[in-house]
Amino acid sequence: MKRRAARSPSGGSARPRPRGRSDAESHLKILHTVAETVSRTLDVDDVLRTALEALTHVTGHEIASLHLLAPDGKTLQLRGERGMSARLREVNECLPLGEGLIGRVAATGRALQSRNVVRHPHVFAPAKAVVRLDQIRGFISVPIHSRGRVLGTLSLGRQTPERFGAREVELLEATAHQIGLALDNARLYSETVRQLDELRRAQAQLIHAEKLSAVGELASGVAHEINNPLTTILGQAHLLLSDSEVTPLVGDRLRIVAEEASRAARIVQNLLLFARQYTPERRPCSLADQARRVLELKGYQLLQDTIRVVTEFAPAPYVLGDDNQLQQVLLNLVQNAHQAMAKQMRERVLTVRVWPNGQNVCLEVRDTGPGIPDEIMPRIFDPFFTTKPPGEGSGLGLSVSYGIVTQLGGRLRAENRAEGGATFILEMPAGDAGS
């Protein structure tokens, strides 16, 4: 952004103006510059920079500094300065609230000035030597307020000992007031942007849920129709297999029929869950226990594909859910991680972690596979979206999991890891104390 800070008449660096020229006109000019920036931008740094520049260039004060209260509420951070030596900047970078002159101004909300700052009993001890070396004499610091709260301080220093006159104090206070307003506006603005962002996310989720329910209705009809013949096929295959007259060759083929029929049954099961035909029960469950069960179930297959399993289960509260459904979610995530890693040669590590997070419990399934390409990331939770060849993927695992998790009041999201691989994070509201 183009800055329009007031310049000293010489156009060069800040230099004390001849005495007596600190007239109302130059003060108005400073205030005008600051007020103009405040109304023009919501960028806090821009406001701070312009305010400091205006103060030093127009009044000729050698040094100006601006500290803002850090989020920890205990320290003040240097957010802008003009004319400071490197050593002075260093000691001013972070000041404890309540200590030294600037720290006191911020703690009490009252302005403070000195004609010989080195001799002041409250000068910040680590800064004393530097202030002496830099020959700073006159010093003034005023608080920056907003809505009754102190947000920081605005300070001026100069090498001459004359007092800061009433007009100069007024000017500094007016500038600090403008900065307070600007900070307030910027905060309101970023709060509005955050809310808008949340609204957009909620809208996207709503669209997604709509899509799920439309496909769900269709899928559930088909699933019901398929379920009955599938059960018959499976039953007949098992009956035949138990017949002693079946030859080994026929037996092998029957086993293939049974295996494929039960694979189809799993898909139908996924479809029915997806269509929410099954009302879940909400019981206290331990996410770590569900993960242990799923890893036990998949243990042999993971071992066969030389996948190392790492688990980190921190003590965490129970979540309210249906253990069958939660296992289904975890099975889908572990299955995807397994398939992603089985295709590549580098080290295969599946990490499953559980940890408490405020009012929630998180579970992460992380792999060292190729990760999820950016272009498909927005679609992976869509029903029937798959990048796997026919027979390997139905494109239902993640959308079913998403449906289950949101129905239980939780969230499921995917990310790529910087070091490669994908990670899925399941976050569920904690239901009860437990482990």
340 binds ligand ADP (CB under 6 A): yes
Range list of H helices, 242-322: 248-274, 287-304
DSSP state of 386: -
Least Å distance, CB 423 to ligand ADP, is: 8
Of 14 and 337, the one with the shorter C-beta distance to ligand ADP is 337
DSSP state of 125: G
* Cβ pair 15, 8 in contact under 8 A: yes
Supply the DSSP string of 20-53, one letter for each residue.
Answer: T---HHHHHHHHHHHHHHHHH---HHHHHHHHHH
How many residues at the interface with ligand ADP, by CB under 6 A? Answer: 21
Of 280, 356, 393, 429, the one binding ligand ADP (CB under 6 A) is 393
Least Å distance, CB 333 to ligand ADP, is: 7
342 binds ligand ADP (CB under 6 A): no
415 binds ligand ADP (CB under 6 A): no
User: Which residues, 361 to 380, sit near ligand ADP by CB under 6 A?
Assistant: 367, 369, 372, 376, 380
b/e burial code for range 279-307 (CB count within 10 A of at least 16 → b): ebeeeebbbbbbbbebbeebeeebeeeeb
* Cβ pair 392, 327 in contact under 8 A: no
Least Å distance, CB 343 to ligand ADP, is: 9
The Cα 3–Cα 1 span in angstroms is 6
User: Which residues, 156 to 215, sit near ligand ADP by CB under 6 A?
Assistant: none
Of 262, 386, 406, 407, the one binding ligand ADP (CB under 6 A) is 386
Stretch that binds ligand ADP, among 30-38, 106-114, 320-328, 386-394 (CB under 6 A): 386-394
141 binds ligand ADP (CB under 6 A): no
Of 395, 409, 429, 434, the one binding ligand ADP (CB under 6 A) is 395
Of 38 and 340, the one with the shorter C-beta distance to ligand ADP is 340
Q: Terminal CA-to-CA distance of the chain, rounded, Å?
A: 54
By C-alpha distance, which of 191, 103, 196 is closest to 150? 103
Least Å distance, CB 402 to ligand ADP, is: 9
Which residues are near ligand ADP by CB under 6 A?
Answer: 332, 336-337, 340, 367, 369, 372, 376, 380, 385-388, 393-399, 422
